[in-house]
Structure 1
Amino acid sequence: MDTEYKIPTETRIGHVHLKVSDLKRSLAFYCDLLGFELMMYYGDAAAFISAGGYHHHIGLNTWNSKDAPPATREGVGLYHTAIVYPTRKDLANIYKRLRTANYPNIGASDHGVSEALYLRDPDNNGVELYWDKPRNSWPKESNGSLTMYTHPLDLEDLLKEAS
């Protein structure tokens, strides 16, 4: 195997497909609460949602999971889906929306390179909502390597950015 191969720098994650137990309940979370747009249903067991009219960023399906119990945090599988917001103000606005909806158990961290909110969807899948800080402000070692960390995020300061 060629050990010199590097994935192209323009490569990106196209979409995430989540197994859910109740399609309507998941659509209420991802579309009604988080604001994704329903692009289409695929029969009565799947739906595709996006931001900005893309064909889909997230697929939701009940093909093998209809009425299944919530995902366990201790099992193998997806740790979380990370959704990147364009600006800190956008992150502040979704945080304000979650607070207004009394959404439970929202975690929050400053990672030096980003600021993030953490929550669980109705099937107990992890969801990270975050924005990347400008690259020129990312903390680095003297050799140029990143120094990421996990510090508490000042949520009151974040809310000052909200519309």
Structure 2
Amino acid sequence: MNYTIPAQTRIGHVHLKVADLDRALAFYCDLLGFSLITTYGKEAAFISAGGYHHHIGLNTWYSKDASPAPVRSVGLFHTAILYPTRRDLAIAFQRLIDAKYPITGASDHGVSEALYLNDPDRNGVELYWDRPKEQWPHKADGSLEMYTHPLDLQSLLGEL
């Protein structure tokens, strides 16, 4: 029997190994704007948007002062952070510009627009917003037409 996961299912949180908890908190809280919810001693922290118990867990249990994982290895490609509106993504982009924080890419995927960067431990991070579903492009057979085109960053900043 084929099973299909319920449509309301969501990925609730991601838990990242980091080398330096304070450095990770500076990135995720001070730069991206997440709120610190709680800590487990000096080894772990849980952060969120909007008071949820946690969207991101950060810990040094196995990684304190460790080097980043090699790029060409098995592991997490990136954590994707979904913003509610294009303007919210533009605000995040402006904060990155103001902080002189480098991005590694910026793409229009048809269904979404995304900024790519690395956190201080070289964990990939995608900041994105979804276009309304009725605007998603489709192929002739009705399936989604996702692509990777350059994102018009000036148009994004025009939201501000």
TM-score range, shorter-chain basis?
over 0.9
| Alignment-derived partner of residue 154 in structure 2 | 156
CA distance in 1, matches of 2:85, 2:104: 19
SS where residue 98 of structure 1 aligns? helix
Residue 114 of structure 1 contacts residue 131 of structure 1 at CA under 8 Å; is this kept in 2?
A: yes
Q: Tell me which residue corresponds to 1:140.
A: 138
| Counterpart for residue 123 of structure 1 | 121
**Post-superposition offset of 1:106:** 3.8
Matched residue, 1:80: 78
Residue 121 of structure 1 deviates from its aligned partner by 0.2
1:28-67 counterparts in 2 under 5 A?
A: 28-67=26-65
What is the deviation of 1:161?
0.4
Find the aligned partners of 2:128 and 2:36 in 1 and give their Cα distance. 21
The TM-score with structure 2 as length reference comes to: 0.98
Aligned-residue RMSD, C-alpha = 0.7
Cα deviation for residue 34 of structure 1 reads 0.1
Aligned ranges for residues 87-98 of structure 1 at < 5 Å?
87-98=85-96
Secondary structure, aligned partner of 2:6: coil
Q: Secondary structure at the match of 1:28?
A: helix
Structure 1, unpaired ranges of 5+: none
- Runs of 4 or more consecutive aligned structure 1 residues displaced over 4 Å after TM superposition: none
**Aligned partners of 2:107 and 2:151 also within 8 Å:** yes
Are the aligned partners of 2:21 and 2:60 in contact in 1 as well (CA < 8 Å)? yes
In the aligned structure 1, how far is the partner of 2:93 from the partner of 2:5? 34
Check the 8 A contact 1:72/1:124 in 2, yes or no. Answer: no
TM-score, normalised by the number of residues in structure 1:
0.96
Contact 1:110 1:153 in 2 (8 A): yes
Structure-2 separation of matches of 1:48 and 1:72: 25
Counterpart of 1:20 (choices 9, 18, 21) is 18
Structure 1 residue 43, shift from structure 2 partner: 1.5
Identity %: 71
Q: Tell me, what secondary structure is at the counterpart of 2:26?
A: helix
1:71 counterpart (42, 61, 69): 69
